[in-house]
Chain A
Amino acid sequence: MSQKTITRADLADAIFENLGLSRNDSSDLVENIIDEMSDALVRDESVKISSFGSFSARQKAERIGRNPKTGEEVPITPRKVLVFRASHVLKNRINDSV
C-alpha cells in the first residue's frame, strides 16, 4: 500500500463535495475547526470528540536531561505536552481494514 499524506486541502475538498459549499467556505470551515480546537487546548480545556478521540494538555515537571553527544547535564524546563487518546471506534476502524 503506498502511503499518501492528507492535508487541509483534502479535508476542504471532502466538505466541498459532501455539502456543496464553495471551496472558499469549505477551507474556511476546516480552519475554523482547527482553530477552535487549538484555542480550547491553549485555554487548558480538553477536547473530546466522540467516536474519534480526545486531546488534552499534560504538564511535565522539570527534569535533568543529558546531551547525548557530550554527556553534559542540562535541565529540561517544565512544559506542557499534548496527549491524544484514540477512541475505541477509531482503533477498531483502523484495524478492520487489515
Chain B
Amino acid sequence: MTKSELISRIAELNPHLYLRDIEKIVETFFEEITKALANGDRVELRGFGAFSVKERDARIGRNPRTGEKVEVDAKRLPFFKTGKALRDRLNEE
C-alpha cells in the first residue's frame, strides 16, 4: 500500500469529503509525526506502535576497505516499536 492508495481508501470511507481535503489530512498526519520527532518528542499510537528518536554519539569509524579512520558525527535516528494489539494481530492465524 502506497500513500496514494491509502488516500484512495480513506476517500472511499469518507465520501462526504473532498479528495483534496483527504490528501491534506493524510499529509498532516505524517507531517505532525515528523515534526514531533524533529522536536525530539515521542509519538505513541496505542495499539499501532510508538515512534521515538534515539541519539547516537559521535564516534571514530573506519573505512572497512582502506582501514582509514573517519569521524562520524553524533546523529539522531527515528525508531519504531510495534504496539501490542498490532503485534498480536500479525501473529494470529
Chain A contact residues, CB within 8 Å of chain B: 1, 3-8, 10-11, 14-15, 18-19, 21, 25, 29-30, 32-34, 36-38, 40-42, 45-53, 55, 57, 79-82, 84, 86, 90-91, 93-98
Query: Roughly how many angstroms separate A57 CA and B3 CA in the complex, as a whole number?
Result: 17
Scoring B residues 2 to 26 as 1 if CB is less than 8 Å from chain A, else 0, what string do you get?
1100100110011001000100111
* Chain A residues within 8 Å of B61, by CB: none
How many A-B pairs have beta carbons closer than 8 Å: the answer is: 148
Q: Flag if A49 contacts B42 (CB, 8 Å).
A: no
Query: Roughly how many angstroms separate A17 CA and B44 CA in the complex, as a whole number?
Result: 20
Q: Flag if B41 contacts A5 (CB, 8 Å).
A: yes
Q: Which of B43, B46, B47, B53 has the most CB of A within 10 A?
A: B43
Query: Roughly how many angstroms separate A69 CA and B57 CA in the complex, as a whole number?
Result: 32
**Nearest CB on A from B79, distance (A):** 8
Q: Flag if B36 contacts A40 (CB, 8 Å).
A: no
Q: List 17 A-B contacts (CB under 8 A).
A: A4-B41, A7-B46, A11-B29, A14-B31, A21-B21, A33-B25, A38-B89, A41-B86, A48-B2, A50-B2, A52-B34, A80-B90, A91-B77, A94-B53, A95-B75, A96-B38, A97-B39
Q: Flag if A36 contacts B33 (CB, 8 Å).
A: no
Residue in A1, A14, A48, A93 whose CB lies within 8 Å of B32: A14
* A91/B78 contact (C-beta < 8 A), A7-B44, A19-B28, A41-B86 known: yes
**Nearest CB on B from A29, distance (A):** 5
Query: Roughly how many angstroms separate A40 CA and B2 CA in the complex, as a whole number?
Result: 10
* A29/B14 contact (C-beta < 8 A), A19-B24, A82-B82 known: yes
Q: Flag if B41 contacts A37 (CB, 8 Å).
A: no
Query: Roughly how many angstroms separate A57 CA and B25 CA in the complex, as a whole number?
Result: 26
* A47/B46 contact (C-beta < 8 A), A19-B21, A52-B34 known: no
